[in-house]
Structure 1
Amino acid sequence: MTTLYFDCFSGISGDMVIGALLDAGADLARMEEELKKLNIESEYTLSKKSVNKNGITAVKFDVDFHNEEAHEHHHSYAHDHAHSHDDHDHGHGHSHSHDHHHHHDHRAYKQITEMIEAAGFNEAVTKMSLAIFKKIGEAEGKIHGLPLERVYFHEVGAVDSIVDIIGAAILIDQLGIEKIYCSPIPTGSGHIHIDHGTYPVPAPATLEILKGVPVARTSIKGELATPTGAAIAAVLAHSFGTMPSMTVEKIGYGAGTKTFKDHPNVLRVVIGTDT
């Protein structure tokens, strides 16, 4: 059985997951091709580069947006704590009660699920993607006191989380992964500043997503686990703990945005077969 282990010694975010899977041998061109089934490829460009994080060579994956105006607009509401901190994936749903005013810069949770269902991915990719989005949508809804159908994602945040979540599902499927394990997740510590005020780390939606998941204590200040990263781990991992017994075949390192003084800000994936 092909097993994957997420070694989250520096947290987890959507872009770190994709970077690590690409570094472990998954194919970016194939992922890009699959993502075209969503018909939103005019909104973004994907890129990957090799970076060095405290002595470790890792892949940095980025989603660049074409609509700068939307990007600026997104900042003005930024309920996305991850934006100015650590490994940005802007990808988390921002729920708004004033949804009727801002249709052009929001995508509803419902629209995103319909988009995934209509894309015609294979069953495994569709199932993984829907489950991860649901996890984030439910957490956001609970924090903001809204039912799922009233949860909205910022336009740019939506594109970012769509690419990170569905991209991760495509790559996991592509690599033939049959079972996923994950280490306990360090969430970081301290506080982050967002438009709503100063919040504790982990942010409320992230903590909600991590219910039932072991979190690890860390002295690092800042947000290490983003909602997208937390949801990928919470939904896909079969169990949490130390590395399972396996014959190691592939290793990948995915870089986060931030650089820390004393340790490499990377996510490590280890892929192998059961011994």
Structure 2
Amino acid sequence: MKVAYLQCGTGISGDMTLAALIDAGVDQEKLQAAIQSLRLPGVNLIVSEVMKGCFRARHIRVEHPEQHAHRHYSDIVEILNQADGLSDKQRSLAQSIFLEVAKAEAQVHGTDVESIHFHEVGAIDSIVDIVGAAVGFDLLGCDQIHCSPIPPGRGQVNIDHGLCDVPTPGTAELLKGIPLVDVPIEAELTTPTGAAIVKTLVDQFGPLPSMTIQSIGYGAGTMNFESRANLLRLFVGTVSVPAGTDEVCLLETNLDDVSGEVIAHTMQRLLEAGAKDVYSIPIQMKKGRPATMLCVLADPLQQEKLEKILFAETGTLGIRQQRILRSTLARQAHTVLTDLGPVLGKVAWHRTGIPSFSPEFEDCARIAKEHSLPIREVYRSAITAFDAQSIGSSPERISPTHSSSATASDHKTHDRDHHSHDHDHHGHDHDHDHHGHDHG
């Protein structure tokens, strides 16, 4: 699994992030082309090598004409929508970062997202930094982004609203739920742009993970400190996935105005399209609204296809995505011979090597109907037949006499365990998009 790790020893800003991405190997020409497609007159990205303390690093400077306009969130969206050099994913990622800023500012000023006009983050250099970060991380192609705790800094800074303590109100709002660390430097170490990038992109906070490093990028900040080098380090590498573990994508969306019939239809379509599992959870949203959280476990390669189904069938406005590791047992399709006929199922081997058998519901239901029996008797007959067999301690040692190749019934299982549907419980630190309601 490919992982990026942001080591924020002296905080994080947009220009430091973009510089670190380029230094770590992201194609500078592709970044330049994406930024030029924003059609902001007179804008150029100047990349240089500098020394911070005794360390070489990249530094980013955005050349642009003098500006006086303050942009609203809708103005930013319009700029992104007309940028034909951005992929849909890059555009969506950049828009998500700006939306986090808009929601933070709206909370601080007691208004709504559309009424907020951006100050520093609406400036041309911040637009370039955010779009560049979205494009850069997409080009980096990491499965997960990890980050160290964030140092906000100390002291006071002048902003458009006057003199403010660090972290400024907007930055503090963005840093909610993110672990902080105190670094004794009298300066604003983490900017609103840097905080928004972290808020949107980072999957996990903590120390540098156990990884095989492939590249390291150094992004230089503008300020110089006596006690330490003002650098953001970006580690890019791989994390080995333990045996018996695979990576899956978890998709979730909250639905408060979709009927049960539509949800059931959507679940069936998702399973037919290749989802490993689909399940729903009754939830209660704010103001006491009852709702349903629809969850999908899938191979990461199936993510885009399944998201299209979710958007089309439910009309949801947003889907949360997580890449998670899943521990699995070795398993194989298997048929047992019972007095009632053959029953297809799956054999799973526990880590101890002891096998267990799960009969297929469709086979058991068919036999129960044919013989006018309760389905639990068919299940019992299948399990008894399996217990009477001699099954090896691994899939390679299963008796070929009783094994069966995958059939149409097997394909209906989509690799779902019948007694454990991989319903992992996750803390959701990200904002939940609710269909029909803009919960900014």
| TM-score for both structures, normalised by structure 2 | 0.52
Deviation at 1:39, TM superposition (A): 1.8
Deviation at 1:19, TM superposition (A): 0.6
* Aligned mate of 1:116, from 70, 80, 87: 80
Question: Which whole-Å CA distance do the structure 1 matches of 2:132 and 2:155 have between them?
Answer: 30
The 5 A counterparts of 1:132-143 are: 132-143=97-108
Question: Which whole-Å CA distance do the structure 1 matches of 2:46 and 2:17 have between them?
Answer: 14
What SS does the aligned partner of 1:267 have?
Answer: strand
What SS does the aligned partner of 1:116 have?
Answer: helix
Work out whether residues 205 and 227 of structure 1, in 8 Å CA contact, stay in contact via their aligned partners in 2. Answer: yes
Task: Note the alpha carbon deviations across 1:91-114, whole angstroms, 9 max, x for none.
Answer: xxxxxxxxxxxxxx1221111113
Partner of 2:228 in structure 1? Answer: 263
Partner of 2:143 in structure 1? Answer: 178
Question: Which whole-Å CA distance do the structure 2 matches of 1:115 and 1:195 have between them?
Answer: 23
* Aligned mate of 1:106, from 67, 70, 75: 70
Letter in 1 for 2:15: D
Task: Note the alpha carbon deviations across 1:205-230, whole angstroms, 9 max, x for none.
Answer: 00000001001112111100000001
The 5 A counterparts of 1:1-275 are: 1-40=1-40, 42-65=41-64, 67-68=65-66, 70=67, 73=68, 105-120=69-84, 121-154=86-119, 157-275=122-240
- Which has the higher Rg, Structure 1 or Structure 2? 2
Deviation at 1:195, TM superposition (A): 4.7
Deviation at 1:156, TM superposition (A): 8.6
Q: Unaligned regions of 5+ residues in structure 1, if any?
A: 74-104
Question: Which whole-Å CA distance do the structure 2 matches of 1:182 and 1:166 have between them?
Answer: 20
Letter in 2 for 1:217: D
Work out whether residues 181 and 237 of structure 1, in 8 Å CA contact, stay in contact via their aligned partners in 2. Answer: yes
Deviation at 1:140, TM superposition (A): 1.2
What SS does the aligned partner of 2:62 have?
Answer: strand
Range that drifts further, 248-257 or 22-31: 22-31
Letter in 2 for 1:6: L
Query: Per the alignment, do residues 119 and 4 of structure 1 end up closer, same or farther by CA in structure 2, a change over 3 Å counting?
Result: same
Deviation at 1:155, TM superposition (A): 8.7
Deviation at 1:150, TM superposition (A): 1.1
Range that drifts further, 189-198 or 121-130: 189-198
Range that drifts further, 187-196 or 262-271: 187-196
Letter in 2 for 1:16: M
Question: Which whole-Å CA distance do the structure 2 matches of 1:131 and 1:158 have between them?
Answer: 17
Work out whether residues 107 and 155 of structure 1, in 8 Å CA contact, stay in contact via their aligned partners in 2. Answer: no
Work out whether residues 121 and 192 of structure 2, in 8 Å CA contact, stay in contact via their aligned partners in 1. Answer: no
Letter in 2 for 1:229: G
Deviation at 1:117, TM superposition (A): 2.9
Deviation at 1:196, TM superposition (A): 3.1
Deviation at 1:244, TM superposition (A): 1.4
**Residues paired across the two proteins, number:** 239
Question: Which whole-Å CA distance do the structure 2 matches of 1:164 and 1:156 have between them?
Answer: 9
Letter in 2 for 1:206: T
Letter in 2 for 1:197: G
Question: Which whole-Å CA distance do the structure 2 matches of 1:190 and 1:155 have between them?
Answer: 19
Specify which structure has the bigger relative contact order, considering alpha-carbon pairs within 8 angstroms and separated by 6 or more residues. Answer: 1
Deviation at 1:34, TM superposition (A): 1.6
Work out whether residues 36 and 43 of structure 2, in 8 Å CA contact, stay in contact via their aligned partners in 1. Answer: no
Question: Which whole-Å CA distance do the structure 1 matches of 2:236 and 2:78 have between them?
Answer: 32
Question: Which whole-Å CA distance do the structure 2 matches of 1:37 and 1:155 have between them?
Answer: 21
- State the percentage of identical aligned residues: 44
Decide which structure has greater helix share: 1
Question: Which whole-Å CA distance do the structure 1 matches of 2:180 and 2:120 have between them?
Answer: 30
Task: Note the alpha carbon deviations across 1:30-57, whole angstroms, 9 max, x for none.
Answer: 11112232222x2311101111101110
Task: Note the alpha carbon deviations across 1:130-156, whole angstroms, 9 max, x for none.
Answer: 111001111112212221111112499
Q: Unaligned regions of 5+ residues in structure 2, if any?
A: 241-440
Deviation at 1:119, TM superposition (A): 2.5
What SS does the aligned partner of 2:171 have?
Answer: helix
Question: Which whole-Å CA distance do the structure 1 matches of 2:105 and 2:202 have between them?
Answer: 21
Question: Which whole-Å CA distance do the structure 1 matches of 2:193 and 2:221 have between them?
Answer: 13
